[in-house]
Structure 1
Amino acid sequence: MNKFGIIWAGQLVSVIGSALSAFVIGVWVYLDTGSVTQFVLIQFCAAVPGILVSPIAGVITDRWDRKRIMLAADLGAGLATAILLMLVASDALTVWPIYLTTALSSACNSFHMVAYTALVPSLVPKKHLGRVNGLMQITQGVQIAAPLVAGALLGLVGLRGVLIIDLVSMVVAVTTLAVTQLPADAIRPVPSDKAPSGFNAGLRYLRGKPGLVNLVVVFCAFNFLFAIAGGLVQPLILSFSSPATLGVLMAAGGSGLFAGSLVMAAWGGPKRRIDGVYLGLVLGGIFLVLHSLYPSPWLIAIAAPCFLFTLPLMNTTCMTLIQTKVDPAVLGRVLGAVRMLVTAATPIAFLLIGPLSDGVFEPLMADDGALAGSFGAVIGTGDGRGIALIFLVVGVLMFAVAAYAWTRPRLRNIDVEIPDAIGEPEKEPARD
């Protein structure tokens, strides 16, 4: 646990620096170009390369030294930041280097996260794995809160100063990881004759365990619905509130995510991990529906933090189940496949929400829309009420995913039907 704590602290510092620079780079692009399209392309470059390389990252994680993979990924992301810093210092920064370096950072982050997540089960006692995964969720809360700090830093030290902070944070992460000795079975697992090999080994391994397949399906569905809500919550708030109120409510939502991470770090989740999945889905559905009922900042101030509270619960329980039930020899490839499937849900959701909102739901919920007399009588009509209806539909779909999960016997009994594939980590570190 001490070794994990050192690595986790260094990685947390690095995540803070990366989140700060990502925010200010986006602000710079929008202010310099005035183009929403060019701003959105940054999000595209930050998502798609990581999705595409995830299976490759899984294969490499199972074959090479996981610590060195993490170090190489951190150095690669640091190189991307250093290139941007040099361009800023020479007053030569344009949008195209930003797209390229963002794509490089995305690919490096995918390698880093697959290796990091595969490393953890061999590093910490199995009984603490849920708590450790809860701690790892804190990074997402930090990323949401980063814009509050980044906005102030941009005015104080400028873009160059924020990039320097990011580089320093990367040095901290690399240093703490490099000096920490890790057990041999953690950095490079023992190959297993029973584990499938090849590029698609992760998917083939999952297909052989129906309970895990159902878990991944539910995990992907949750992330897809979560992405729809995350992409539309700001337009929903702005339909009845000011930008200043939006900032306050986004900070409140981030506090829910942070609180959920702390709770999971202290609790670790229920003894039957699958019960945490059911709980996350049901609570998520309830709080999504609450978003839709009335155009009130006070309602969002309650519903948004509570909904974001469910993200660490779902992520922690799902990831702990995968880590404990998958053979360590193929864990990297399974995690790579899962990461590809789960993260792919986000850009798909973002592609859908614009046409669904502007072309379908908003016209239906206009004052004279087709649904004004039915759903409009419950949640209101006019600007933003189409988005509210999407929240209502997504909340109901979340209940449907929970019902699906409950009707799958292999998933319902996954805690006992699939034996744990990991034991306790070595107590004495080997030279690495």
Structure 2
Amino acid sequence: MNEQQKLKKATYHLYTFLISKMVGSLGAGVYSFGMSLYILSKTGSSLSFALNVILSFIPRIIISPIVGILSDRISRKKLVLGGQAGVILTVSALLLYTHEFGLSLAAVYTATVFNSIFSSFSSVAFSASIANLVDEARLQKAMSFNQLSSSVAGIGGPIVGGMLFGFVSMEVFLAVFIFAALVTFTLEATMNFNLFKKESPTNDVQKQETMFESFKAGFRYVNTQPTLKAILWLALWLNLFFMSVSVGGSYILVTVLEIDPTQIGFIEAGGAIGMLLTSIYFASRKQIQFPLVIVKRSTFATATVVMLIGLPVLFPLPMIWNFVYYFVIMVLFGTLGVITNTPLGVMFQTTITEEYRGRVFGIIEMMSMSAMPIGTLGYGVLFDLIPAYYILFASGLILMALVLLLLRPSILEMAHPELKQTEGKVVTE
């Protein structure tokens, strides 16, 4: 295949990737919304709801490093499609069970565990394959499309789910998800996952290693890359302290300020709107020249936003201004999330060596996901003991300190040696 044919195929991948991720994310959003409302309406217990969330985290934490190893050993396309097939079979089994016996809490929890396992195969293997699907010049657009699909799901999932819930049976929610997953499976099956793959002589050596030796090799590789190691630690701490927003934001809106549930829905949609607009911007602009500089600024700004979340508790506002304030906060959160994640995604795809990419993405997912249940439980206890604004202000300050420490000038210059030539200038690209 000549270069022109490769670029044509890469263009096909780019838009097929957008459609498949958008349809799949929307179907998953509808399913998640329906299952969440089912659990809450059936039990009335936030603990039952939290248990379902934790069951979606734990398997991914355990399985992600294993999937990462497999992604560097066998066909990533087979792992992606196998994961998708597993999700389809799991929800199809849940649909059959529901049709025969009616939906039950135990069945939902079981499906959550298996969905989490199979989703790990798809997400880790696909993340490790993006640089093989599109050319380097369009990696930023591909990463932006990934964020775009998430934002569409964030907006459309609750809207479609809200329209369906109460008017149709839970079987319809399951059928919608199965249909969306089948579309995703079909589209991804047409992709060439080796289009831009660079073969390495170490691949044969790796296949002779045990799984444990391969796992250790992945960590050794990360340890030899100071920039990558700093980013991984930053991702871990960001996910941990961002739980202060997930837990504390809902606590403030519902319990402290008693904002109307309808308005809370619009506030939460603000994050997806911010993601959508920023994703479109990144997809249409040229590739960022100094991504880690942008990441440092965006994460520092995000830490500032975390500190501002508790402000209306200290300085009471009329209810309408509380709504406007938190809607803007969520738009900023969504916007800054994309500004952080898109350059990072491009960096990962371009700087991680091909033969280690699967293992590194497995480690990234493991570290990112492991912080979430810990942060959820930890902040759940803290918000019952300490006023919310103190917790959020302290979390923001700690995040700022971590950003300054982990993305210090020496790390930035290591990632972008050309920064030395721009000292004294404002970096805008």
CA contact (8 A) 1:291 1:304 kept: no
Q: Pick the aligned partner of 1:227 from 243, 246, 267.
A: 243
Hey, what does 1:373 align to over in structure 2?
none
Structure 1 residue 267, shift from structure 2 partner: 3.2
Instruction: Sort the Cα spacing of 1:16 and 1:34 in 2 relative to 1 into closer, same or farther, 3 A.
Output: same
SS at match of 2:374: helix
Q: Pick the aligned partner of 1:177 from 188, 205, 216.
A: 188
Instruction: Sort the Cα spacing of 1:160 and 1:5 in 2 relative to 1 into closer, same or farther, 3 A.
Output: same
Structure 1 CA distance for aligned equivalents of residues 227 and 191 of structure 2: 36
Instruction: Sort the Cα spacing of 1:191 and 1:12 in 2 relative to 1 into closer, same or farther, 3 A.
Output: farther
2:383 matches 1:357: yes
Instruction: Sort the Cα spacing of 1:126 and 1:184 in 2 relative to 1 into closer, same or farther, 3 A.
Output: closer
CA contact (8 A) 1:142 1:258 kept: yes
Hey, what does 1:267 align to over in structure 2?
285
2:248 matches 1:237: no
Instruction: Sort the Cα spacing of 1:268 and 1:206 in 2 relative to 1 into closer, same or farther, 3 A.
Output: farther
2:312 matches 1:316: no
Hey, what does 2:68 align to over in structure 1?
58
Structure 2 CA distance for aligned equivalents of residues 319 and 182 of structure 1: 18
Instruction: Sort the Cα spacing of 1:209 and 1:182 in 2 relative to 1 into closer, same or farther, 3 A.
Output: closer
Structure 1 residue identity aligned to 2:174? L
Matches within 5 A, 1:69-148: 69-145=79-155, 146-148=157-159
Hey, what does 2:217 align to over in structure 1?
201
Report percent identity of matched pairs: 23
Hey, what does 1:390 align to over in structure 2?
391
Hey, what does 1:156 align to over in structure 2?
167
Instruction: Sort the Cα spacing of 1:2 and 1:23 in 2 relative to 1 into closer, same or farther, 3 A.
Output: same
Structure 1 residue identity aligned to 2:372? T
Structure 1 residue 401, shift from structure 2 partner: 2.1
Hey, what does 1:344 align to over in structure 2?
370
Structure 2 residue identity aligned to 1:86? L
Structure 1 residue identity aligned to 2:308? L
Structure 2 CA distance for aligned equivalents of residues 148 and 406 of structure 1: 39
Hey, what does 1:42 align to over in structure 2?
52
Structure 1 residue identity aligned to 2:369? T
2:351 matches 1:325: yes
Instruction: Sort the Cα spacing of 1:269 and 1:347 in 2 relative to 1 into closer, same or farther, 3 A.
Output: farther
Structure 1 CA distance for aligned equivalents of residues 244 and 95 of structure 2: 34
Structure 1 residue 207, shift from structure 2 partner: 0.5
SS at match of 1:198: helix
CA contact (8 A) 2:275 2:334 kept: yes
Structure 1 residue 2, shift from structure 2 partner: 1.7
Structure 1 residue 182, shift from structure 2 partner: 4.2
CA contact (8 A) 2:131 2:196 kept: no
Structure 2 residue identity aligned to 1:298? V
Is the deviation greater in 158-167 or in 141-150?
141-150
Structure 1 residue 221, shift from structure 2 partner: 1.6
Hey, what does 1:420 align to over in structure 2?
none
Instruction: Sort the Cα spacing of 1:323 and 1:407 in 2 relative to 1 into closer, same or farther, 3 A.
Output: same
Structure 2 CA distance for aligned equivalents of residues 74 and 51 of structure 1: 18
Structure 1 residue 98, shift from structure 2 partner: 1.3
Instruction: Sort the Cα spacing of 1:406 and 1:135 in 2 relative to 1 into closer, same or farther, 3 A.
Output: same
* Count of residue correspondences: 391
Structure 1 CA distance for aligned equivalents of residues 342 and 95 of structure 2: 35
SS at match of 2:272: helix
CA contact (8 A) 1:50 1:106 kept: yes
Structure 1 residue 158, shift from structure 2 partner: 2.5
2:59 matches 1:33: no
Structure 1 CA distance for aligned equivalents of residues 82 and 237 of structure 2: 32
SS at match of 2:312: coil
Structure 1 CA distance for aligned equivalents of residues 285 and 415 of structure 2: 20
Instruction: Sort the Cα spacing of 1:143 and 1:226 in 2 relative to 1 into closer, same or farther, 3 A.
Output: farther
CA contact (8 A) 1:255 1:305 kept: yes
Structure 2 residue identity aligned to 1:261? S
Q: Pick the aligned partner of 1:256 from 268, 274, 277.
A: 274
Structure 1 residue 274, shift from structure 2 partner: 0.7
The Cα offsets for residues 335-371 of structure 1, whole Å up to 9 and x where unpaired, read as 1011101121111110111111102x1xxxxxxxxxx
Structure 2 CA distance for aligned equivalents of residues 5 and 74 of structure 1: 19
2:231 matches 1:215: yes
CA contact (8 A) 2:270 2:334 kept: no
Instruction: Sort the Cα spacing of 1:217 and 1:351 in 2 relative to 1 into closer, same or farther, 3 A.
Output: same
Structure 1 residue identity aligned to 2:194? P
CA RMSD of aligned residues (A): 2.1
SS at match of 1:131: helix
The Cα offsets for residues 401-424 of structure 1, whole Å up to 9 and x where unpaired, read as 22113425134431349xxxxxxx
Structure 2 residue identity aligned to 1:88? T
CA contact (8 A) 2:22 2:153 kept: no
Structure 2 CA distance for aligned equivalents of residues 281 and 305 of structure 1: 15
Give the TM-score, by structure 2 length.
0.86
Structure 1 residue identity aligned to 2:289? K
Structure 1 CA distance for aligned equivalents of residues 152 and 53 of structure 2: 18
Instruction: Sort the Cα spacing of 1:17 and 1:406 in 2 relative to 1 into closer, same or farther, 3 A.
Output: closer
Structure 1 CA distance for aligned equivalents of residues 78 and 374 of structure 2: 32
CA contact (8 A) 1:289 1:392 kept: yes
CA contact (8 A) 2:21 2:184 kept: yes
Structure 1 residue 144, shift from structure 2 partner: 2.5
Structure 2 CA distance for aligned equivalents of residues 410 and 119 of structure 1: 26
Give the TM-score, by structure 1 length.
0.85
Structure 1 residue identity aligned to 2:84? D
Structure 1 residue 200, shift from structure 2 partner: 2.5
Structure 1 CA distance for aligned equivalents of residues 199 and 164 of structure 2: 42
